[in-house]
């Protein structure tokens, strides 16, 4: 049992108890299976036996979170029937969470999009591929002639194959030349990306999951692993069960890991930078530093020392609402650890000082030399299964190989490798919300949405939905129809999904793995890869899209990424299956992959030194007031994935979590007379949702928690257009709301 900021005690309700049991079960199973399943002899028995239910097992990777669990898809007579974890896959060792285990159902859902649709008046009517592609390419051509490439935009996804992200980037920059390319990883990982670039010179998480096993101090900050990455949460719990490791949890919400922590810091929303400054203050004041590492491998120490000198724990305690002694203790444990690891997710990335908070986390590890060794490092846990691919293969803001559009040398290298005029490549990239603003003003006339559902996932949902209706041409490519976004489309293109195409995903620890096609797509659905290449060819760029398969594109990515941080040259599809994924960089066929980055203390900056950033704390742009007195925190629940286009079709998950609920602390519920199970309205300046109340001490007094999954009950009806100023990631975690009893 632990205590909230105000001293109230957390009690486990039934639902929390069941979830904690699930996570504990995964953890214990992990702990007990580890030695057996890691043994080479287990490999021979890895493929499950064939029986009356399954006549073929196909090697693949989970399509949901970026834990990246390895699995087999079982089929019978060409139909998907079940999924099983791969016993000797190093990430999950045969284990899957409930989203993973039931995912074969997403392939059979009756709402699968099976034929192209074209809007005629108020209706979307079936059309042939020829009609749909002709409409799209004719409109693209007209806009290109009238306005040039800035009239077109693409909004992609961290759920596409690496090869699909690559051809989308090649189409946008190498063929069309538009700067308007982004995707939904902007909503979850942009702050980690920009933070890594500022601290280390390039993107790329330095650590890996095995580091959980080696660390003797793990700090989890703004990450609800047991709900959002359950198998990884189980692995962390297995580590704790073995003993000899101190867990520090920093979170405004008493997530399950908080209850298992030796130190829990229930900070006020948006105060991470003040807390991290105070921890650095203690490290420097008490001499808990690795001075040799600082001198040899960093720059900026004196500026940092001067700034954090202004943040004694007593000051941070006032800002953050936690005890100064707890901050002192956390800092000392971190500073004295043999191997310290810090994990974070959206609780950092989706806040007003997100990028600079990432820099402060990196600072902690640079000051103490806790990086590049087993059990150490700042480690961002990615949200989506292939947002790492979106980042490394050039499907989003960066060019392939972590090159920057703002660097002429990088643009020249890519233009030369693609064989296109250097001048065609745009010199900048447009973040997602500015793409939407461009559609709103009419500067962007055609928007192509691929594999994502912004009508639910974008902040300020009412605004986002109005914008989607304003595009002259809105192409939505998705595996399902209707979705909240396909409903606004001019053209819907039916896409193949996971299990219906072959390619690669890269998980949060840089492990590239293979997904083999198990079944045929339904109806006339085609892979995103095929569709993008076909549009490119029809617009006259056939030379750029002369691929016979995704494997051809993977070989081309290897050329683009050679001698860059995500070097993939040693990787082949066959190797990925045989060796159970490989972590980049992997520069040669006999190279085993790279578990950790920066092992030699040399970073990807010009002088090879990492940068220590000194940052002042700043409050969020919107804070609770008399009219909207509560903080709104948002996030995932264990049963569901993003906007329910997939997990909403899985009967078991839909039954376990059929609708949204808002978590309310008893101290906030009591004056309003709200009880668990009653319906309440959550209201912000942007909108209102009506949901079931769940009165629980999991949220601290002064705040509520609401998930973002459920279309008409999404937290994004309430969130606003506030963004981190460096990464342009939305500030989903800090809005002001009020409750109304219905």
Among 23, 37, 62, 357, contact with ligand SF4 (rule: CB under 6 A): 62
Q: Say whether residue 640 binds ligand SF4 (CB under 6 A).
A: no
Of the candidate spans 50-58, 62-70, 166-174, 332-340, the one that interacts with ligand SF4 by CB under 6 A turns out to be: 62-70
Size of the site for ligand SF4 (CB under 6 A): 14
Q: Which of 23, 27, 30, 69 binds ligand SF4 (CB under 6 A)?
A: 69
Among 172, 231, 473, 582, binds ligand SF4 (CB under 6 A): 231
The sheet with strand 340-344 has its strands ordered as 263-265, 246-250, 217-221, 340-344, 377-380
27 near ligand SF4 (CB under 6 A): no
d(C-alpha 194, C-alpha 595), whole Å: 22
Please state the closest distance from residue 389 (CB atom) to ligand SF4, in A: 15
Beta strand 56-61 with 263-265 is unpaired
Question: Is residue 229 part of the contact set for ligand SF4 (CB under 6 A)?
Answer: yes
The answer to whether residues 660 and 709 touch, using CB atoms and an 8 Å cutoff, is: yes
Which helix (H) or strand (E) segment is 156 a member of? strand 152-156
Using rule CB under 6 A, residue 431 touches ligand SF4: no
Whichever of 106 and 279 has its CB closer to ligand SF4, that residue is 106
Q: What is the three-class DSSP state of 736?
A: strand
Q: Least distance in Å: CB of 76 to ligand SF4?
A: 22
Is the preceding peptide bond at 482 cis, omega within 30 degrees of 0?
A: yes
Piece of 2-10, 60-68, 259-267, 356-364 that binds ligand SF4 (CB under 6 A): 60-68
- Smallest gap from Cβ 380 to ligand SF4, in A, equals 16
In terms of CB distance, is 391 or 445 closer to ligand SF4?
391
Q: Whole-number minimum distance, CB 653 to ligand SF4, in Å?
A: 11
Q: Are 205 and 595 in contact (CB under 8 A)?
A: no
CB-CB contact of 217 with 334 (8 Å): yes
Whichever of 106 and 364 has its CB closer to ligand SF4, that residue is 106
Report the alpha-carbon distance of residue 239 to residue 345 in Å, rounded.
19
By CB under 6 A, is residue 67 in contact with ligand SF4? yes
Chain CA centroid to CA 186, Å: 9
94 binds ligand SF4 (CB under 6 A): no
User: Bridge partners of 249?
Assistant: 220, 264
The region of 66-74, 318-326, 408-416, 561-569 touching ligand SF4 under the rule CB under 6 A is: 66-74
CA distance 300 to 323: 29
Q: Which one of 4, 10, 30, 68 is in contact with ligand SF4 (CB under 6 A)?
A: 68
Strand-pair partners of 221: 250, 344
For ligand SF4, the closer CB: 100 or 454: 100
Helix (H) or strand (E) holding 679: strand 679-683
Q: Which residues of 601-640 are buried (b: 16+ CB within 10 A; e: fewer)?
A: bbbbbeeebbbbbbbebeebebebeeebebbbbbbbbbbb
Paired tokens of 702: 């002064």
CB of 49 to ligand SF4, least distance (A): 22
Half-sphere exposure of 648 (CA within 13 A, CB side): 17
Q: Does the protein bind ligand SF4 through residue 26 (CB under 6 A)?
A: no
CB of 61 to ligand SF4, least distance (A): 8
Q: Which stretch binds ligand SF4 (CB under 6 A): 91-99, 547-555, 577-585, 696-704?
A: 91-99
Q: Which of 27, 230, 372, 522 binds ligand SF4 (CB under 6 A)?
A: 230
Q: Alpha-carbon torsion 230, 236, 239, 243, what sign?
A: negative
Residue nearer to ligand SF4 on the CB measure, 61 or 353: 61
174 versus 383: smaller Cβ distance to ligand SF4: 383
Taking residue 78's Cβ as centre, other Cβ atoms within 10 Å add up to: 10
- Residue 636 lies near ligand SF4 (rule: CB under 6 A): no
CB of 166 to ligand SF4, least distance (A): 22
Give me the least distance between CB of 207 and ligand SF4, in Å please.
18
Q: Which is nearer to ligand SF4, 61 or 735 (CB)?
A: 61
Site stretch for ligand SF4 (CB under 6 A), options 94-102, 110-118, 363-371, 630-638? 94-102
Q: State the residue for tokens 């060794």.
A: 373
Binders of ligand SF4 among 95-134, rule CB under 6 A? 96-97, 99-100
Peptide bond into 436 cis (omega under 30): no
**Min. distance of Cβ 706 from ligand SF4 in angstroms?**
21
Torsion, Cα of 539, 541, 547, 553 (10° steps): -110
**Of residues 64, 418, 448, 458, which one binds ligand SF4 by CB under 6 A?**
64
Cα 231 from Cα 227, distance rounded (Å):
9
DSSP annotation string for 408-448: HHHHHHHHHHHTS-GGGS-SS---HHHHHHHHHHTS--EEE
In the bound state with ligand SF4, the residue whose beta carbon lies nearer, of 62 and 135, is: 62
Binding residues for ligand SF4 (CB under 6 A): 62, 64-65, 67-69, 92, 96-97, 99-100, 229-231
């Amino acid at each position: 049992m632990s205590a909230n900021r105000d001293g109230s005690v957390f009690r486990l309700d039934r639902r929390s108890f069941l979830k904690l049991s699930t996570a504990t079960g995964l953890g214990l199973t992990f702990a007990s299976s580890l030695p057996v399943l890691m043994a080479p002899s287990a490999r021979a028995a890895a493929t499950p036996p064939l029986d009356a239910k399954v006549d073929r097992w196909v090697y693949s990777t989970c399509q949901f979170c970026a834990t990246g669990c390895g699995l087999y898809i079982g089929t019978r007579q060409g139909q998907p029937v079940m999924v099983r974890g791969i016993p000797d896959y190093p990430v999950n060792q045969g284990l899957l969470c409930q989203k993973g285990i039931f995912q074969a159902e997403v392939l059979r859902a009756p709402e699968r999009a099976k034929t192209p649709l074209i809007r005629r008046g108020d209706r979307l009517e079936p059309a042939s591929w020829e009609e749909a592609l002709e409409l799209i390419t004719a409109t693209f051509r007209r806009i290109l002639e009238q306005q040039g490439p800035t009239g077109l935009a693409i909004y992609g996804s961290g759920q596409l194959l690496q090869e699909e992200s690559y051809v989308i980037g090649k189409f946008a920059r190498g063929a069309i030349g538009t700067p308007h390319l982004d995707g939904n990883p902007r909503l979850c990982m942009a702050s980690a990306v920009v933070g890594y670039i500022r601290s280390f010179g390039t993107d790329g998480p330095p650590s890996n999951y095995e580091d959980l096993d080696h660390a003797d101090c793990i700090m989890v900050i703004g990450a609800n692993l047991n709900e959002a990455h359950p198998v990884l949460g189980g692995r962390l719990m297995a580590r704790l069960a073995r003993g000899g490791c101190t867990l520090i949890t920093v979170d405004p919400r008493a997530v399950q890991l908080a209850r298992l922590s030796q130190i829990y810091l229930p900070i006020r929303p948006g105060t991470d930078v003040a807390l991290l400054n105070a921890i650095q203050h203690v490290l420097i004041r008490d001499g808990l530093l690795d001075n040799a590492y600082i001198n040899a491998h960093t720059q900026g120490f004196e500026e940092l020392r001067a700034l954090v000198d202004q943040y004694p724990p007593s000051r941070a305690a006032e800002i953050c609402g936690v005890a100064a002694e707890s901050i002192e203790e956390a800092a000392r444990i971190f500073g004295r650890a043999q191997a310290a690891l810090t994990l974070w997710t959206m609780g950092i990335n989706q806040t007003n000082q997100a990028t600079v908070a990432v820099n402060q986390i990196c600072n902690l590890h640079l000051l103490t030399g806790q990086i590049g060794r087993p059990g150490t490092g700042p480690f961002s846990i990615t949200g989506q299964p292939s947002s790492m691919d979106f980042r490394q293969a050039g499907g989003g803001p960066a060019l392939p190989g972590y090159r920057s559009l703002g660097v002429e040398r990088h643009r020249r290298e890519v233009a030369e490798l693609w064989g296109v005029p250097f001048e065609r490549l745009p010199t900048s990239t447009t973040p997602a919300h500015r793409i939407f603003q461009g559609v709103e003003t009419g500067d962007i006339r055609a928007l192509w949405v691929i594999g994502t559902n912004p009508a639910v996932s974008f902040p300020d949902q009412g605004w986002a939905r109005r914008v989607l209706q304003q595009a002259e041409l809105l192409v939505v490519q998705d595996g399902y129809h209707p979705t909240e976004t396909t409903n606004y489309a001019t053209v819907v293109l039916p896409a193949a999904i996971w299990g219906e195409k072959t390619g690669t995903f890269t998980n949060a620890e840089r492990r590239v793995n293979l997904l083999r096609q198990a079944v045929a797509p339904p109806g006339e659905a085609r892979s995103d890869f095929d569709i993008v290449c076909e549009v490119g060819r029809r617009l006259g760029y056939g030379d750029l899209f002369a691929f016979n398969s995704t494997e051809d594109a993977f070989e081309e990515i290897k050329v683009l990424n050679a001698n860059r941080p995500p070097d993939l040259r040693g990787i082949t599809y066959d190797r990925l299956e045989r060796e159970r994924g490989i972590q980049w960089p992997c520069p040669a066929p006999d190279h085993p992959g790279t578990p950790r980055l920066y092992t030699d203390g040399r970073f990807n900056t010009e002088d090879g030194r990492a940068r220590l950033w000194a940052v002042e704390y700043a409050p969020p742009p919107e804070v609770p007031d008399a009219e909207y007195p509560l903080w709104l925190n948002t996030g995932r629940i264990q049963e569901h994935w993003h906007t329910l286009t997939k997990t909403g079709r899985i009967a078991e998950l839909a039954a376990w979590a059929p609708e949204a609920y808002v978590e309310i602390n008893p101290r906030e519920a009591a004056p309003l007379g709200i009880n668990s199970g009653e319906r309440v309205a959550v209201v912000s300046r942007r909108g209102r949702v009506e949901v079931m109340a769940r009165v629980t001490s999991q949220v601290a007094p002064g705040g509520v928690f609401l998930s973002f999954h459920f279309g008409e009950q999404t937290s994004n009806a309430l969130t606003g257009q506030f963004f981190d100023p460096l990464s342009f990631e939305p500030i989903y975690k800090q809005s002001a709301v009020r409750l109304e009893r219905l």
